């Protein structure tokens, strides 16, 4: 899926569901989802609280949700036009953003670097400065996290977005499921 298309779809859906809000809200959601990924990853390594398949599904959902939150951040922060000028795509060509040293990094290190990229993006947005490098870096680290866990970033996003876009938080504030 094209990241610009995802930003537009998510942004429109988010505006309908949540109205005007600061881009800081989806940035927080992004970080929350990385925590959910770490939770599932840790429990899978420990062999507790579920099967490997359940933990894999939870990790895929968290990666999809994190990417959706990143798309919402970009929409709300006004980055769409810049992304369009740079022809920014969500596809598996992210390794060009990284050094070969990253290939041996642990999942914890990738998550830390992803959060750092989002922190830099948010800080630059607050200062009125933007570079798509931080978005690319965050997506790239998500790509590597997926690779390390036998997940496909695009599949995670498409599967999760297909479910999320059905929710209507104005109609049902508890579950988002429209009645």
The answer to whether 153 touches 63, Cβ cutoff 8 Å, is: yes
pLDDT for 19-28, tens place per residue? 999 999 999 9
Q: Looking at residue 102, what is its pLDDT?
A: 55
Any idea of the CA torsion for 122, 123, 129, 135, to the nearest 10 degrees? -40
Which residues in the chain show pLDDT less than 70? 86-105, 130-132, 179
Domain boundaries, the chain: 3-164
Task: Provide the angle, in degrees to the nearest 10, between the axes of the packed helices 153-164 and 3-18.
Answer: 30
């Amino acid at each position: 899926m094209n990241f610009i298309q995802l930003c537009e779809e998510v942004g429109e859906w988010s505006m309908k569901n949540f109205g005007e809000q600061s881009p800081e809200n989806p940035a927080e959601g992004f970080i929350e989802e990385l925590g959910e990924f770490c939770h599932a990853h840790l429990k899978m390594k420990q062999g507790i609280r579920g099967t490997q398949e359940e933990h894999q599904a939870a990790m895929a959902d968290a990666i999809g949700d994190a990417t959706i939150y990143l798309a919402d951040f970009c929409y709300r922060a006004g980055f769409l036009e810049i992304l369009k000028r740079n022809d920014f795509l969500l596809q598996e060509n992210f390794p060009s953003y990284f050094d070969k040293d990253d290939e041996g990094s642990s999942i914890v290190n990738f998550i830390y670097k992803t959060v750092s990229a989002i922190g830099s993006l948010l800080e630059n947005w607050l200062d009125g400065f933007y570079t798509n490098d931080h978005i690319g870096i965050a997506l790239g680290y998500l790509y590597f996290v997926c690779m390390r866990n036998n997940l496909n970033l695009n599949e995670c996003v498409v599967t999760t977005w297909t479910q999320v876009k059905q929710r209507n938080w104005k109609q049902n504030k508890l579950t988002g499921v429209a009645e």
